[in-house]
């Protein structure tokens, strides 16, 4: 269910390509269309490493560059987490990818996010 939601939210939207993975807890998402673009802050996205740093810096979404796994330009996103986190991360990625084309983001069907679950830290 979580795998299918990640694919549904990302595949074919905002220039991202997210094929359905076969039994893994992560997906590789092609970010080819983002390479060569400039961030609103003026930084050129030269490769998938720049793209994942942009996701982290602007939206606090942690992914891993595909180059680390020999799959480039792409990023790896884990769906071994709650549906809330998955949806929030995917919507953030779409917001980032469509920053210059906000009308695309408005076409994404997403539900209202529930409040975050309380976190208990163990020391």
**Which residue range is the domain that position 80 belongs to?**
2-106
119 in a domain, yes or no? no
- Residue 1 DSSP label: -
Q: Compute the distance between CA of residue 83 and CA of residue 81 in angstroms, rounded to an integer.
A: 7
* Nearest alpha carbon to residue 7 among 24, 26, 22, 20: 20
113 in a domain, yes or no? no
Task: Give the pLDDT confidence score for residue 43 in this predicted structure.
Answer: 86
* CB contact burial 3-13 (16+ within 10 A = b; e otherwise): beebbebbeeb
76 in a domain, yes or no? yes
For β-strands 26-30 and 74-78, DSSP reports them as: antiparallel
Task: Give the pLDDT confidence score for residue 55 in this predicted structure.
Answer: 85
Q: Are 26 and 80 in contact (CB under 8 A)?
A: yes
When divided into structural domains, the chain yields a total of 1
Q: Are 10 and 16 in contact (CB under 8 A)?
A: yes
Task: Give the pLDDT confidence score for residue 96 in this predicted structure.
Answer: 63
69 has pLDDT over 60: yes
11 has pLDDT over 70: yes
95 in a domain, yes or no? yes
Task: Give the pLDDT confidence score for residue 25 in this predicted structure.
Answer: 92
Q: What is the CATH number of the domain that holds 57?
A: 3.90.1150.10
Q: Are 79 and 4 in contact (CB under 8 A)?
A: no
Q: Compute the distance between CA of residue 40 and CA of residue 57 in angstroms, rounded to an integer.
A: 12
82 in a domain, yes or no? yes
């Amino acid at each position: 269910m979580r795998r299918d939601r990640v694919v549904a939210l990302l595949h074919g939207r905002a220039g991202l390509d997210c094929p359905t993975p076969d039994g893994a807890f992560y997906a590789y998402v092609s970010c080819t269309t983002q390479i060569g673009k400039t961030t609103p802050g003026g930084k050129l996205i030269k490769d998938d490493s720049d793209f994942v740093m942009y996701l982290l810096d602007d939206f606090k979404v942690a992914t891993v560059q595909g180059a680390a796994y020999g799959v480039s330009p792409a990023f790896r996103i884990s769906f071994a987490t709650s549906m809330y986190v998955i949806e929030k991360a995917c919507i953030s990625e779409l917001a980032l990818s469509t920053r210059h084309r906000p009308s695309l983001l408005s076409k994404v069907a997403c539900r209202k996010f529930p409040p975050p679950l309380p976190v208990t830290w163990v020391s």
